[in-house]
Amino acid sequence: MTTTTDPPAPTQPASTPATGRAGLTLATAFAPAVWGTTYIVTTELLPPHAPLFAALMRALPAGLLGLLIARTLPHGTWWWKAAALGTLNVGAFFALLFIAAERLPGGVAATLGASQPILVALLATLILSERLSPWRLIWGVVGVVGVGLVVLGPGAAFDPLGILAGLAGAAAMGTGIVLTKRWGRPEGVSAVGFAGWQLTAGGLVLLVPTLLVEGIPGGIDTQAVAGYLWLGSAGGLIAYILWFKGLRSLPVTATALLGLLSPLVATALGVLLADESLDPLQLLGFALALAALAAGQINPAPRTPKGFVS
């Protein structure tokens, strides 16, 4: 592996053409869609009562693989920045995600992340000095209302620790998203390397607590191995490569709204595979969340004052 000594300032990419942005948005959306499978995989394939070990297996092997592929280590201030981002985007987020997944039904657990776009919008005004977009803020609220209707369905379980873990996970990654946008990606570092830094840092944060609190769980069969491989590859390295590439070029609040795909996918899988059901009110909430996700990708043109002639 190679290291460098002088950290060049991160560069901001040029604006993305409309057609290119559509493709980039679809690629970025792969990440939250795959994260929505975490809940069904956790409950159906993985050993029970081992959320920290599941988070560790999702992060550390994928991160080390990313480092081997990119062969680039952090440098200068990026040592602590990568550690901070890895803790927020991976270590804390994964651990809290699996705790919520274990203690709540899939649709309920995933929908708690719907508060993330609103948090990102507010943090972007404070940290990135961006103007608050009323359009995306409104649709963020619509998304929360939509997923709230799904949560409040008849069969919803409200385990206090699970709900707290879900909300804390959304806050951790929301902060990580905004800081990732602020710091950018160092010149010469690939998306694979950048994802590898954060996944490795997050995995190392999880290593000691996992060994002390849980150890290696018993009952790791072929189904569990398949689940860990899926979460570490598609839900880990591949998802984060695409996520960070999209976050580098797309508006931060619009990217955060893509996170609504996670509860939508989790809810759909719960219906298809876990015998969960949706009543009409929940279906309305599902539709509202989907509309908020789509509308949040639109950047409406500013209104021209009446009587103004260009």
Contacts of 46 (CB under 8 A, 6+ apart): 54, 224, 227, 228
The domain tally of the chain equals: 1
Higher local confidence (pLDDT), 231 or 269: 231
Contacts of 310 (CB under 8 A, 6+ apart): none
Q: What pLDDT digit, counting tens, does each position of 144-179 carry?
A: 888 778 766 555 566 788 888 888 888 898 899 999
Query: Is 301 a domain residue?
Result: no
Distance CA 111, CA 79 (A): 33
Distance CA 113, CA 108 (A): 10
The per-residue pLDDT for 160 is 81
Query: Is 4 a domain residue?
Result: no
Residue 90: burial class (beta carbons within 10 Å; 0-12, 13-18, 19+): buried
Average pLDDT, rounded, for the chain: 83
Tokens of 17: 């053409």
Query: Is 129 a domain residue?
Result: yes
Higher local confidence (pLDDT), 182 or 114: 182
The conformational region for residue 187 under phi > 0 = left, psi -120 to 50 = alpha, else beta, is beta
Distance CA 136, CA 259 (A): 13
Tokens of 78: 């990026």
Query: Is 185 a domain residue?
Result: yes
Q: Is the predicted pLDDT of residue 110 greater than 70, yes or no?
A: no
Q: Is the predicted pLDDT of residue 263 greater than 90, yes or no?
A: no
User: Could you tell me the pLDDT band of residue 242, with boundaries at 50, 70 and 90?
Assistant: very high
Average pLDDT over residues 90-118: 74
Query: Is 221 a domain residue?
Result: yes
Distance CA 274, CA 104 (A): 13
Q: What pLDDT digit, counting tens, does each position of 75-103 carry?
A: 999 999 999 999 999 999 878 877 776 77
Q: Is the predicted pLDDT of residue 66 greater than 70, yes or no?
A: yes
Q: What pLDDT digit, counting tens, does each position of 5-59 carry?
A: 444 445 445 455 667 788 899 999 999 899 888 878 988 899 988 888 988 999 9
Average pLDDT over residues 286-310: 71
Distance CA 81, CA 258 (A): 24
Q: Is the pTM of this model over 0.85?
A: no
| Whether 91 contacts 203, CB under 8 Å | yes
To which residue do tokens 């290593």 refer?
A: 207
Query: Is 206 a domain residue?
Result: yes
The per-residue pLDDT for 107 is 57
Could you tell me how many residues make up the chain? 310
Query: Is 169 a domain residue?
Result: yes
Higher local confidence (pLDDT), 168 or 4: 168
Concatenate the DSSP letters of all residues of 246-281 into one string.
Answer: HHHHS-HHHHHHGGGHHHHHHHHHHHHHS-----HH
Q: Is the predicted pLDDT of residue 219 greater than 70, yes or no?
A: yes
The CA distances from residue 114 to 136, 140, 171, 197, in Å, are 13, 8, 10, 27
User: Could you tell me the pLDDT band of residue 1, with boundaries at 50, 70 and 90?
Assistant: low
Q: What pLDDT digit, counting tens, does each position of 191-208 carry?
A: 999 999 999 999 999 999
For 79, the domain range is 18-295
Residue 7: burial class (beta carbons within 10 Å; 0-12, 13-18, 19+): middle
The per-residue pLDDT for 248 is 87
- DSSP 8-class letter at 129: -
The per-residue pLDDT for 308 is 41
User: Could you tell me the pLDDT band of residue 190, with boundaries at 50, 70 and 90?
Assistant: very high
Query: Is 227 a domain residue?
Result: yes
